[in-house]
A and B are shown apart, each in its own frame.
Chain A
């Protein structure tokens, strides 16, 4: 009897641990949390409602993130006039890492820094970089895990165009 009680206690403790540490990741169809509520370092674009938004999580130490910057600049150039806003959220622990990176990899889109790493926790991403494509109502419509060169660039183009049409 004692062992079964012990087992129960153990599993209860494990379950509690799992619940406390697990973070629900954002899924397609979820409302993306309001960026203004996360004390992000940097200026956010004025109006996100009514726009198609890419929220991209990146860090300076991440190779594919670096690869994604020219593609993001390209997307910005092609679709900014048509209603696309790109918000690249930096997750570096040191601000200087981000600044050094941006010196070598200029960004034409909005870059903000999630200094407290709260937003990324809420988003619950599994890999760097990860991005969320939001429609004009702020709902998550597409999620990208990682950046796979021209393939990902093409997907972004198709997804943005399908969302801008509406």
Chain B
């Protein structure tokens, strides 16, 4: 193997290791205090949501697709 190729592979492996070991972490079920806060709720402002939906629908001729995972208490 060409030394350059070897270097490239090592570099790629290093990047992958750094990416998987340090980059992302999942919030554990017992660490969701901040996510459980009322202000993190997607449905806390029904009127605001209604207005945003109306504008979105008027522009895009489509609605929905707003649901995102990961917020809230995650309890029960």
Q: Which A positions have Cβ atoms within 8 angstroms of B?
A: 2, 5-6, 9-10, 13-14, 16-17, 20-21, 57, 59, 61-65, 91-93, 97, 117, 120-121, 125-130, 145-148
**Structural contact, A13 and B17, CB atoms closer than 8 A:** yes
User: Which residues on B sit within 8 Å (CB–CB) of A127?
Assistant: 29, 74-76
Cα A115 to Cα B13 in complex, Å, equals 36
**Which one of B30-38, B45-53, B63-71 is at the A interface?**
B30-38
Across the two chains, which residue of chain A brings its CB closest to B1?
A2
User: Which residues on B sit within 8 Å (CB–CB) of A21?
Assistant: 25
Size of chain B's interface in residues, with CB distance under 8 A? 22
User: Which residues on A sit within 8 Å (CB–CB) of B20?
Assistant: 13-14, 16-17
Which residues, 1 to 32 on B, are CB-close (under 8 Å) to A? 1, 5, 9, 12-13, 16-17, 20-21, 25, 28-32
Whole-angstrom distance from the CB of B43 to the nearest CB of chain A? Answer: 15
Whole-angstrom distance from the CB of B63 to the nearest CB of chain A? Answer: 30
**Structural contact, A92 and B33, CB atoms closer than 8 A:** yes
Whole-angstrom distance from the CB of A97 to the nearest CB of chain B? Answer: 8
**Structural contact, B76 and A148, CB atoms closer than 8 A:** yes
Q: 3 closest pairs, A vs B, by CB?
A: A146-B76, A17-B20, A91-B30
Known: A2-B9, A9-B13, A13-B17. A64 touches B75 (CB 8 A): yes
**Structural contact, A61 and B16, CB atoms closer than 8 A:** no
**Structural contact, A9 and B33, CB atoms closer than 8 A:** no
